[in-house]
Amino acid sequence: MAQATATTHRRSGGFWGRIRQSDLSEALWGYFLISPWLVGLLIFVAGPMLYSVYLSLTRYNLMSAPQWVGAFNYGYLAADPLVWQSLKVTAIYTFLGVPMRVVLALLVAMLLNQQVRAMPLFRTIFYLPSVVSGVAVAILWMWILSPEYGLLNSALAKVGITGPRWLMDQDTALFAMIVMSLWGVGANMVIFLAALQGVPQHLYEAADVEGASRLQKTWHVTIPSISPSTFFVLIMSIIGSFQVFTQGFVMTNGGPNNSTLFYVLYLYRNAFQLLRMGYASALAWVLFIIIMACTALVLRSSALWVYYEGELKK
């Protein structure tokens, strides 16, 4: 009996040993296959990020060796009025522009989710602007918003309205750039469109049985069903808005009275125009902390309004 039990244990151990060895070999082979990406991540992403932490504690101008200054850059940053101006501009652009872009993308997606002829053509037309180069879009909108010969002011003049100076006026420059950002809602539109097509049809049928109106079905069925996609779009939009640079650099370069001085544009000035690499590194890490904090807030709030398939609202 004891001999049979020992034999069984040996056989079982040999079997599970082969299983573990197979899993280990598969894991090692998997790491080997992704090793080029891992090496690239360590050399070109993780390495520079860690080095930038050190640079943020130094005074460095690319011409001489970094000089250790400790937390001086962070203290100077807190007292720099242009830092607060750039944060103000970026926050307004984010907290006004992101809701507008998310809502517009959803509305366009709902419009393009209808069963009508030539719908693939319409979807392509709405999506195309989002794949155009950022510099090309900026130049196009500089022409549209030009106070002298721009298309927008020319159209307003035909109905007897004198258009503002848009990008040349500190009171309208940032608002004009927020409106311009609506040009690229096509990418988010595609995400919402895919989510809308994945809403279970039986939920709408149940709502019809209950006598729900179109608005009630949208609010109680459509919106909760696509909330995971809304959650993803919201987080990515917030991160992208805090990193906006091209529009501010190409169109206004900070604008009149720094009215469009975005945070990343100010970082760029310190790094590549003033060669204050240590200070620019400190600015970059402050931006990283701000983005992480905003992302964490959205993640914490997701329990209140994001619903996944099969989940029941309590």
Identify the pLDDT of residue 17. Answer: 56
| Stated pTM of the model | 0.85
Q: How far apart are CA 269 and CA 276, in angstroms?
A: 9
Q: How far apart are CA 239 and CA 128, in angstroms?
A: 22
Q: How far apart are CA 82 and CA 274, in angstroms?
A: 14
For 72-305, CATH number out of 3.40.50.1970, 1.10.3720.10, 3.40.630.30, 1.20.1630.10 equals 1.10.3720.10
Number of neighbours of residue 131 by Cβ within 10 angstroms: 9
List the alpha helices (DSSP H) in 80-131. 81-111, 119-127
Q: Strands 58-59 and 67-68: what pairing?
A: antiparallel
Whether 8 shows a pLDDT value over 60: the answer reads no
List the alpha helices (DSSP H) in the chain. 2-33, 35-41, 47-55, 72-79, 81-111, 119-127, 134-144, 151-158, 173-181, 186-197, 201-209, 214-217, 223-225, 227-242, 246-247, 263-268, 277-305
Q: Which residues contact 286 (CB under 8 A, 6 or more apart)?
A: 74, 77
Whether 229 shows a pLDDT value over 50: the answer reads yes
Contact, 263 vs 93, CB < 8 A?
A: no
Identify the pLDDT of residue 313. Answer: 47
Whether 2 shows a pLDDT value over 50: the answer reads no
Whether 14 shows a pLDDT value over 70: the answer reads no
Per-residue pLDDT tens over the stretch 252-305 = 999 889 999 999 999 999 999 999 999 999 999 999 999 999 999 999 999 999
Q: At 294, is the secondary structure helix, strand, or coil?
A: helix
Q: How far apart are CA 180 and CA 59, in angstroms?
A: 38
Q: Of 274, 83, 113, 296, whose CA–CA distance to 191 is shortest?
A: 113
Distance of CA 78 to CAs 68, 83, 287, Å? Answer: 19, 8, 13
Whether 184 shows a pLDDT value over 90: the answer reads no
Q: Which residues contact 270 (CB under 8 A, 6 or more apart)?
A: 276, 279, 280, 283
Whether 245 shows a pLDDT value over 70: the answer reads yes
